Structure formats: C-alpha cells, structure tokens
Structure 1
C-alpha cells in the first residue's frame, strides 16, 4: 500500500498497517481452524505464520540514495557540514519479503476411538494451533497496528501544523 509519495512517514506507517492486517487475518484463520483435524489434503491443519524479512542487499544498495534526505543550507562556519554520513536508506514494500509459512511442528495426539479420522489404535492427531498463543499474537498484532496508526496520525498532524505556519 503506497499512499505517501514523497512523504515516507505515510508509506512506512501504511506498510506497517498492511502487514499487521495480514498477520491478524492469519491469526483469525488459525483460531478458526484450531479444532480442524484434517485439511483438504487429509493432513492435520498446520498453523500459518507471517514472516517479514528485508531482501538481501536492498538496504545496502539504497543507502547511497538521497531521495528522502533533507538538504540544509549552512549559514555559519560552526554548523555541521553536509557529509555522506547523514544519508538515509529507503525502506519500502519492494525491499521487503513477506511470506506465509506453515508451522511444521506436530499437533497433540488425542485418544478418540469414535472419531472418523482415528487411526487403528483410536488416536487422532490434532492441529498444532495453540489458541492461547494465537490470542497473545493477536494482542501483539493489534498493538503494532495501533502504533502504526498513531505514527500515521502524528505524521498527518505534523504536516497539518506545517501548513498552518
């Protein structure tokens, strides 16, 4: 989700909102399927996790750019000079790798001899979703979403205040 153009605060916050929304969707799916014994392939349901990583070397390659830096004019010889050390890297959606992965850990094995999916000994392998863990992850995702929303509103307020000057 790109909404800011030359306003990186908007882009970063919008990206964070989008990632946390996707994370919440996966958590909701995990909770909904916590008691699902078999998926379409006949296997126990495996918990889904959202993994967000920065693509290799993308940040290093973008560090040399001056796209989002602010140029200041020095009016006094005691001011800090413009050096190449005060560059910023651009972090955007293209530099991130967002991937949905499945938790490969085994689910709990429960004795249910009357269950249609029970093995010859009467045991059923359940999904590996722990509802308590999912609820904790949901709270963390909600707090991250709120933090990104607060940052977006702060950026918006700073721009609004700047226009009033």
Structure 2
C-alpha cells in the first residue's frame, strides 16, 4: 500500500467518523423530544453503520477506492420508555408519555469511540505526511 493509499483510507475513515459524531450529537439533542400528538412515538435513536471498501472503488469520484464508507443510518428499534406524566400534552389516555430510546451514557461512549477513531486516523495521516517529507529531504 502506498502512502497516498494509506492517506485515502484514513480520509475515508475521517469522513465516516465525522458523520457518526453528527448523528450522535443529534441523538443527544433529541433525548427529550417527545411526540407532538398524544400517545405518539417520540424521537427514535439513529445509528450509523459502516462497510469496508476493498480495492473496488466507488462509482462516484468522492467515494474511496479502499477504506470505509457509510452503509447507512438505521433507526434503533429498541422500546421507548414510558413515563407517567398525566398533565403532559403528549400523554396517552392513561397519562403515560413515551420518551425517546436515547441513553446518554451509551451516546457518550459511542462519541468517545468515534473521537478516538478520528484521532487515530488524523495521526495516521500526519505520519504519512511526515514520511513523505523525510523522503523528499533525502532526495535533495
């Protein structure tokens, strides 16, 4: 694998992790977003899924030829928490409000994981750049 290819792989991972962090931030921002109609469903947590790209290349010019790409953004099908709040506008006939299936501890752990992956890929790009600069210095 050439240095350029390693940078492209890391760049694809940076794009993927960046999207993952945006979706996690959206989940955290909506962890109290309930339905606007009584008994309706609240915000549903979203999760980014990835897939590897192995020497196939994407059809579009911005897709990586090797690396990682986002497969999709799926919704978490886990159950909503029911909270008894009879005076709430979103409460059903029994006085329960469905709360989003967003757990701040899980989102924080996911954000930390995405951040660490992002940092590792930035370091890989910096290392490739440093190696390129050393090679150029040797050729002088």
* TM-score grouping bracket, smaller chain normalisation: 0.7 to 0.9
Higher fraction of helix:
2
Separation (CA, whole Å) in 1 of partners of 2:129 and 2:48: 28
TM-score scaled by length of structure 1: 0.70
Q: Is the 8 A contact 1:39 1:45 kept in 2?
A: no
TM-score scaled by length of structure 2: 0.82
Q: In the alignment, which residue of structure 2 is the partner of 1:160?
A: 133
Over aligned residue pairs, what C-alpha RMSD do you find? 2.2
Segments of structure 2 that go 5 or more residues without pairing to the other structure are: 57-64
Q: In the alignment, which residue of structure 2 is the partner of 1:17?
A: 14
Separation (CA, whole Å) in 2 of partners of 1:23 and 1:105: 19
SS at match of 1:7: helix
The total of aligned residue pairs comes to: 127
* Rg larger for: 1
TM superposition outliers: structure 1 runs of 4+ over 6 Å? none
Q: In the alignment, which residue of structure 2 is the partner of 1:7?
A: 4
Q: In the alignment, which residue of structure 2 is the partner of 1:142?
A: 115
Q: In the alignment, which residue of structure 2 is the partner of 1:46?
A: 44
2:31 pairs, out of 31, 34, 37, with: 34
Q: In the alignment, which residue of structure 1 is the partner of 2:78?
A: 105
Q: In the alignment, which residue of structure 2 is the partner of 1:91?
A: 66
Separation (CA, whole Å) in 2 of partners of 1:108 and 1:114: 17
Give 1:38 deviation, angstroms.
2.0
